[in-house]
Amino acid sequence: MDSTDIVLPDRELWPNHVAIIMDGNGRWAESQGLPRSEGHRLGANAVQKVVEEMARLQMGCLTLYCLSNENWKRPEPELQFLMHLLQHYMIEQREGLLKHNIRLRILGRQTGIPTEVWQEMEETKRLTRENTGLQLCLAINYGGRQEIVDACRAISARVASGELRPDQIEEKTLAAHLYTHDLPDPDLLIRTAGEMRVSNYLLWQISYSEIWVTHRCWPDFAESDLHAAIVDYARRKRKFGGLKQG
């Protein structure tokens, strides 16, 4: 389906923050008789399409699950390729990020990321930090439980120093110490490749996110799929645990 076949709803019905679990790169490659690395390479092309489309639509925030902390269990050659691809992406996409007024953010721990890759990530963040359009957040070496642990450690340190009392800790306290402390929670969570799980992704933040799943593997995900997700989201009645009025 061409993206022009889908009519988007009124803008006030759109999600502001979209989070995506980009699943199925390896499965797509295997189904085509190709090495898994080819699936990852074409998956990067899909990232560029979706990022640029969200920037064109002037949406607020896109968070992509690029590498989980569990992914380090994968074979070493695949991990090396992923790191090379990430480094290449950071360099290659700078011009486009600046052109489209996109600000890059990184969510996750630095531990395990090769120094040269981390440096390129930091440089791209630096170059785009004054951009005021779409915020592109890449979850790299990320895990939802890990993020909550890091937040608890930071809060514990404040308690130990006497800066904060235990009875002062509330939900907003923990939220303020997450990697996403200055971002709105995702309105819409998209998962590709038909899997029906959240895979330790943004566990705190997606408490009330709407979920949209497609059987398409990530390399096949296109602008029209994003549009379809927006249309479906606009039909939802979000109640946040209460009753919808009217």
| Residue 245, pLDDT above cutoff 70 | no
CA angle 143, 137, 25 (to 5 degrees): 70
Share of the chain above pLDDT 70, in %: 96
Stretch 4-28: mean pLDDT, rounded?
A: 93
Percentage of the chain lying above the pLDDT 90 cut: 93
pTM for this model (two decimals)? 0.93
Q: 201 and 140 in contact (C-beta within 8 Å)?
A: no
Q: Is 71 a catalytic residue?
A: yes
Catalytic residue among 5, 16, 71, 225: 71
Contact 17, 63 (CB under 8 A): yes
To the nearest 10 degrees (0 to 180), the angle between helices 115-128 and 76-92 is 30
Residue 239: pLDDT band by 50, 70, 90 thresholds? Answer: confident
Q: Rounded to whole angstroms, how far apart are CA atoms 185 and 174?
A: 13
Q: 34 by DSSP, 3-state: which?
A: coil
User: 130: which residues sit within 8 A by CB, 6+ positions away?
Assistant: 103
Domain 13-234 has CATH 2.40.30.30: no
Asked if residues 43 and 219 have their Cβ atoms less than 8 Å apart, the reply is yes
| Lowest mean per-residue pLDDT among 145-149, 192-196, 227-231, 238-242 | 238-242
Average pLDDT, the chain: 95
When pLDDT is averaged across residues 209-219 and rounded to a whole number, the result is 98
Per DSSP, the three-state class of 140 is: strand
Amino acid at 101: N
Cβ contacts of 156 within 8 Å, gap of 6 or more = none
- Regarding beta strands 61-68 and 210-213, do their DSSP bridges make them parallel or antiparallel, or are they unpaired? unpaired
Q: What is the pLDDT of residue 3?
A: 45
In single-letter form, the type of residue at position 78 comes to E
Q: How far is CA 220 from the centre of its chain?
A: 18
| Lookup result for tokens 């389906």 | 1
Over residues 135-184, the pLDDT tens digits come to: 999 999 999 999 999 999 999 999 999 999 999 999 999 999 999 999 99
pLDDT tens profile 85-107: 999 999 999 999 999 999 999 99
16 among known catalytic residues: no
Flag whether pLDDT at 223 surpasses 80. Answer: yes
Q: What does the chain come to in residues?
A: 246
pLDDT computed for residue 244 by the predictor = 60
pLDDT on residue 1: 42
pLDDT given at position 238? 83
Q: What is the pLDDT of residue 242?
A: 66
Catalytic residue among 2, 10, 23, 200: 23
| Lookup result for tokens 């949406």 | 59
Asked if pLDDT for residue 116 goes beyond 70, the answer is yes
Q: How far apart are the first and last CA of the chain?
A: 35
